[in-house]
Amino acid sequence: MYSEKVMDHFKNPRNVGEIENASGVGTVGNAKCGDIMRIFLDIDESGIIQDVKFKTFGCGAAVATSSMATELVKGKTVQEALQVTNKAVMEALDGLPPVKVHCSLLAEEAIHAALWDYAEKNGIKIAGLEKPKNDISEEEEEEDY
Ligand code: FES
């Protein structure tokens, strides 16, 4: 039921770990399933994401989506990273089963939370970035599954 790419990123997740003195750190959870994801971004002066690491306490799909999301934002500008939606992450993984779609939302939201933290630390505004939620399960209830 999982694609080969999902299994690969689950078994060999890329960019696991932490970044000390990160430019931005975002932590997002889902109270319903209890999964938590934390993303660390190292952003240079020209706004390029030089390094990214993650720690995920969660299901296999959450690990695979965080791994893929970190790969997709590495080397990108802040604006480009904002375009890495959960759909983009899912496509890059060749899809996820419907019950696991929320896991990819966790990855999108954790990146947004880390970007938000970076913007706050630097007193800047990132166009198009809204204040992220700490718990995405609230959002899910509003959606139809
Ligand atoms: Fe909740 Fe995967 S089951 S993040």
Q: Which CATH class is domain 4-122?
A: alpha beta
Ligand 1: which residue has its CA nearest to atom 4? 103
Residue 6 Cβ contacting ligand 1 at under 6 Å: no
pTM score, whole prediction: 0.93
Q: Is the pLDDT of residue 1 over 90?
A: no
Residue 103 Cβ contacting ligand 1 at under 6 Å: yes
Domain assignments of the chain as residue spans, ordered by start: 4-122
pLDDT tens string 15-31:
999 999 999 999 999 99
Q: Is the pLDDT of residue 48 over 70?
A: yes
Whole-number pLDDT of residue 137: 86
* Distance in Å, CA 32 to ligand 1 centroid: 9
59 is an active site residue: no
Paired sense of beta strands 35-43 and 49-57, if any: antiparallel
pLDDT tens string 69-122:
999 999 999 999 999 999 999 999 999 999 999 999 999 999 999 999 999 999
143: DSSP letter: S
Residue 113 Cβ contacting ligand 1 at under 6 Å: no
Residue partners of 120: CB distance under 8 A and separation at least 6: none
